[in-house]
Amino acid sequence: MERIRTFAVRHARAFEWVYVRFERALVAMDPLFRRIGYDRLERPVAAVEKLTKGLLFDCRMCGQCVLSSTGMSCPMNCPKTLRNGPCGGVRPGGFCEVKPQMRCVWVMAWEGAARMRGGGQISDVQPPVNRALEGSSSWLRVAREKAAMPGGPTDAPRDTIARAFPRARAHEPAAAPLAPEPLRASDRGVGR
């Protein structure tokens, strides 16, 4: 829904303001989340996240949200699902090569980033998306990752990706997660 995405990009600065505070609250709640159990929280939180972010950003629930680094334009709406863009095929007027009637998700991302205080993050190279995390909650992942950042890596392949994208991970820790995943986060039924 391009209208939703256009609204998000036009109000990228306001969404950024809200998200910075929301993220702080999520990270602060990590001890509570641990006490309840991330596994138990995964399904209900993913359902709320899907509804909220679907309405506000046309979110596709990739589980590795990078909206703060993409001008509040969800990159998973790019027909090529590029996590770094735009590609070389943007049409005159900023329209998509694959869907000529649609404005390029990445052209919109750069417009949104220009409105944001942290808009420079769009220059961070993002890692490829891990499809195994599709449908799971980015919110919970951010809480786990930010709270666990000083801790050591737990898994060699994930550690390799995290090390390869340090800037992306610094701003968007869910983009290259290291914290152990709760069972339900990789449950393919979540959010579908």
Q: Which residues bind ligand SF4 (CB under 6 A)?
A: 53, 57, 59-62, 65-67, 74-76, 138
Cβ proximity to ligand SF4, 17 vs 31, nearer residue: 17
Provide the minimum distance between the beta carbon of 77 and ligand SF4 in the complex, in angstroms, as a whole number. 7
End-to-end CA distance of the chain: 18
Cβ proximity to ligand SF4, 126 vs 182, nearer residue: 126
Provide the minimum distance between the beta carbon of 57 and ligand SF4 in the complex, in angstroms, as a whole number. 5
Cβ proximity to ligand SF4, 121 vs 138, nearer residue: 138
Nearest to 133 by CA among 80, 87, 179, 164: 179
Alpha-carbon distance of 63 to 135, in angstroms, equals 6
Cβ proximity to ligand SF4, 31 vs 51, nearer residue: 51
Provide the minimum distance between the beta carbon of 134 and ligand SF4 in the complex, in angstroms, as a whole number. 9
Please give the single-letter amino acid code of residue 25. A
Cβ proximity to ligand SF4, 31 vs 48, nearer residue: 48
Q: How far, CA to CA in Å, does 180 sit from each of 29, 65, 145?
A: 17, 17, 9
Q: Nearest 5°: CA angle at 69, between 17 and 118?
A: 50
- Determine contact, residues 132/186, Cβ cutoff 8 Å: yes
- Whether the bond between 86 and the residue before it is cis, its omega within 30 degrees of 0, is yes
Provide the minimum distance between the beta carbon of 62 and ligand SF4 in the complex, in angstroms, as a whole number. 3
Q: Nearest 5°: CA angle at 142, between 141 and 146?
A: 120
Provide the minimum distance between the beta carbon of 138 and ligand SF4 in the complex, in angstroms, as a whole number. 5
